[in-house]
Amino acid sequence: MDNNYTHNSGSELSLSKKIYEKSAYLNTIDNQFTELVPPTPPIETPISVDEFFVLYNDLFYEIPKEGEINSHQYLIKSSIEYVGSQSTSNDIQALLNEITTLREENLTLQQNIVDLTLPENDNTNTNN
C-alpha cells in the first residue's frame, strides 16, 4: 500500500508500508524485547575447598580483623558455632589447672625459703 503526502516545503514525500497477516507477522517479526532485558549472568561453578583457602590466604590481610560480617572475628565466631567450643574449653581448663598447681608449688617453695632464712628460736643455746 503506497501513500503520497505533501510536505509544507512543496516537495512530495513518498511513504510505503507493508502489512502482514497475524500468522505471517508472528513468524516474520521478532516481538521479544531482548535489548531491554538484563543479560543472564553466567553460571559460576562453585570453588573447591582448596581454591577457597588459596583465596583466603591471598586476601588474609585485606580482611578486617573485627566486624559483624566479612571479618576474621566473624569467621572465628561462625567456625566455633559450627565446630563447637568444647575442645577449646577443655584446653583452657587444663591450662588453668596447671597454673593453679604451679602457684601452689611456688607458695610452698617461698615458705621453705622463709623457713630456711629465719633463725630458729627454739633451738638456740642460751648457756655460754
Domain tally, the chain: 1
Host domain of residue 61: 49-117
Of residues 1 and 96, more confidence is placed in 96
Q: Is residue 92 part of a domain?
A: yes
CA 79 – CA 47 distance, rounded (Å): 19
Distances (CA, A) of 43 to 14, 39, 48, 106: 51, 12, 16, 65
pTM over 0.85: no
Q: Is residue 111 part of a domain?
A: yes
Q: Is residue 60 part of a domain?
A: yes
Q: Is residue 59 part of a domain?
A: yes
Q: Is residue 68 part of a domain?
A: yes
Q: pLDDT tens digits, residue range 23-42?
A: 777 777 777 766 666 777 78
pLDDT of residue 6: 52
